[in-house]
A and B are shown apart, each in its own frame.
Chain A
Amino acid sequence: MGKSLFDKVWDQHVVAELGDGAVLLHLDRVMLHDLSGYRALKILEERGERVVHPELALGAPDHTALSAPGAQTAGEPYGRVGPEFMELCKRHGIRAEGVDSPGFGILHVIGPEKGLTLPGATLVCGDSHTCTHGGLGALAYGIGSSELVHVLSTQTIIQKKPMRMRIRFNGAPAKGVTPKDMILYVIGQEGTAAGTGYAVEYAGDAIEQMGVEGRMTICNLSIEMGAKIGMVAPDDITIDFLKGREHAPKGADWDAAVAHWRTLKSDADAQFDREIEVDVSEIKPQVTWGTSPEHVVAIDGVVPDPDDAPDPDAREARLAALDYIGLQPGQSMEGVPVDWVFIGSCTNSRITDLRAAAEIVKGRNVAGSLTAWAVPGSAAVKAQAEAEGLDRVFTDAGFEWRAASCSLCVGANGETLAPGQRSISTSNRNFVGRQGPGARTHLASPVMAAAAAVTGAITDVRKLME
């Protein structure tokens, strides 16, 4: 029987079988941020453990850094953990990109950008969106702080082998439809728990034609479907993306690595526990209406009626979501006014995201009194965007051009909406309180967020593309 991409990478990292499907898995990369990574290093010290391979680790205080340009360390949350986190990394010999470094950014953006994330590598971080790195063909997933201590002190983790799922995106996306819409659509169809216990491989011609950044967006949302791991097989697009990056292999190592990466794809007869086929041509731009990523509809859709929910629990959940979000059943999503626009987060803050959003913003103005933020995912993305003049496009229109940080995705740095305010956001979670207590979040793609910025309300971006 053939092997899947996941199986190949998994098998290459098994240090020991522990019985009952669990293994001791070797980890090639570990990333630390200022919340879970900070806690992990503190626990590690309390327990008298040491970091065995600091050279395989990378840290960045991406969560508590403010996105205020030139004042990223000024916030209270950063003050509480940022400097100590940097100090902890230093003490343990871990390379950490501080906010002033040109290498700073959201870990899930800078790992790939530096060529530290590699196809076929295993990678963990104390962060559920670590699955993002699967866009390059890495086997990457989020863990807790205690597990992180285990990883730092042994370079391994105990993990039970997940089941395998493949989602095939067939066909080509229509105009205005982005990778974000494709994955939100699937989450809407399958629900937030469909992927629990699975490692998901994304395949099909729409994935094969997609850039690495789009693949990362898709993998990023795996966890919103319950899957800790999402992966795309590396191909020429991946190899081109990595070539010449700071930490990508060089010389003979590069050639050997490429030869290895070319073997990392699912065999024709690989078995999956579940397969899902998606007709991409049917997907329209998506927007969430509720407080879970599965609460999503096409932009020309309406807020669903709780009475149509499949079961009483789902009905209750929908009622609670509507109460929080302040929308009515049957209401059109188009035209819902927003107070905030957030373009950023590890889901959608890379250069292609900013280019696409700028394309919509160009020559238009941010509507009325709304606040619109463009927050690049890394200092390097910011510099690249500035070199292309995208910053001017945003600021000319009335956007604030911010510095790299997780920022409004989770508000750990103190940047939040006011209670009751409504945002359209390119991030990944529309949970209750995610962007601040009482804040109402609508998830969408960068172009949809840009369209709302210039119209003042949730808008079908396709109308601005005509």
Chain B
Amino acid sequence: MQPFTKLTAIAAPLYRANINTDIITPMQYLVGTPRESMGGIAFAPWRFNEDGSENPDFVLNQEPFREAEILIAGPNFACGSSRESAVWALQGLGIRAVIAPGFGGIFANNCYQSGILPVVLPEDVVAGFARQAEAAPHTARFTVDLENCRVIPPQGEPVPFEADALRRSALLQGLDDLGMTKTRVTEIAAFQEADRERRPWIYPGS
């Protein structure tokens, strides 16, 4: 996994509330689509017209936002279905960090598995960022700095954000959960041994 330390990049404003993962990766394209191709179906209902051509009004089809590596999203971003394809699709578009007032809980966990950083900031701050990005697209370069836990917008003061210590250190090192847990196999075995005594009915054949 690619470590996430500090990223300075174009940020695309997509400030709408409750964008769900059915929009980010619609079911009709999903079954059997390989992970590497998910970028191609990202936001399909908005990104493409019915005939398959690009919808020029959609922000991610516009310059310079095609090159965006940061997404500025609305409240409750990526709520709904647990499909991890939503993360893979963003990744396919080149997005490495999403700034929003809040995320669907399953999506946020999925982000960490692919080295994408979800940044939660207050609604007015995120809405302000979105306005900055819209008003001056070509200078809309934001810095998301996980080392110092702050976002530096093109204008104005750096804004601090909170990151779980565990998630932060994993992202900084490019470790996913599995790498961390593998160091604890003996603890897990000990838990199960004691638990088999406490709750034998949970373990078939014990």
B106→A35 contact, CB < 8 A:
no
Complex: A260 Cα to B195 Cα, angstroms: 13
What is the distance, in angstroms, from A154's C-beta to the closest C-beta of chain B?
Answer: 5
Partner of A437, one of B28, B32, B75, B164: B28
Contacts of A81 in B (CB 8 A): 31-32
Q: Give residues of chain A (107-131) contacting chain B, Cβ–Cβ below 8 Å.
A: 118, 120-121, 126-128, 130
B80→A128 contact, CB < 8 A:
yes
**B 184-206 binary contact with A (CB < 8 Å = 1; else 0):** 11011001100100111111110
- Residue in B closest to A194 when the chains form the complex, CB atoms: B76
Contacts of B23 in A (CB 8 A): 431-433
Complex: A429 Cα to B199 Cα, angstroms: 36
Partner of A411, one of B27, B184, B185, B203: B27
Complex: A144 Cα to B114 Cα, angstroms: 11
Of the listed stretches A249-257, A357-365, A380-388, chain B binds A249-257
What is the distance, in angstroms, from B16's C-beta to the closest C-beta of chain A?
Answer: 7
What is the distance, in angstroms, from B152's C-beta to the closest C-beta of chain A?
Answer: 25
What is the distance, in angstroms, from B141's C-beta to the closest C-beta of chain A?
Answer: 25
A313→B106 contact, CB < 8 A:
no
B204→A24 contact, CB < 8 A:
no
Partner of A55, one of B27, B103, B205: B205
What bracket does the count of chain B residues touching chain A fall in? Answer: 35 or more
Contacts of B18 in A (CB 8 A): 192-193, 292, 317
B30→A412 contact, CB < 8 A:
yes
Complex: A437 Cα to B18 Cα, angstroms: 19
Of the listed stretches B55-63, B65-73, B142-150, B174-182, chain A binds B174-182
B84→A26 contact, CB < 8 A:
no
Mind listing 9 A-B residue pairs with CB under 8 Å?
A22-B164, A26-B195, A128-B81, A144-B110, A147-B110, A157-B177, A411-B27, A431-B20, A433-B26
- Residues on A lying within 8 angstroms of B by beta carbon are 12, 15-16, 18-22, 24, 26, 28, 35-36, 39, 47, 49, 55-56, 64, 77, 80-81, 118, 120-121, 126-128, 130, 141-147, 149-150, 153-160, 162, 192-193, 196-197, 223, 226-228, 247, 249, 253-254, 256-257, 260, 292, 313-314, 316-317, 410-412, 416, 429, 431-434, 436-437
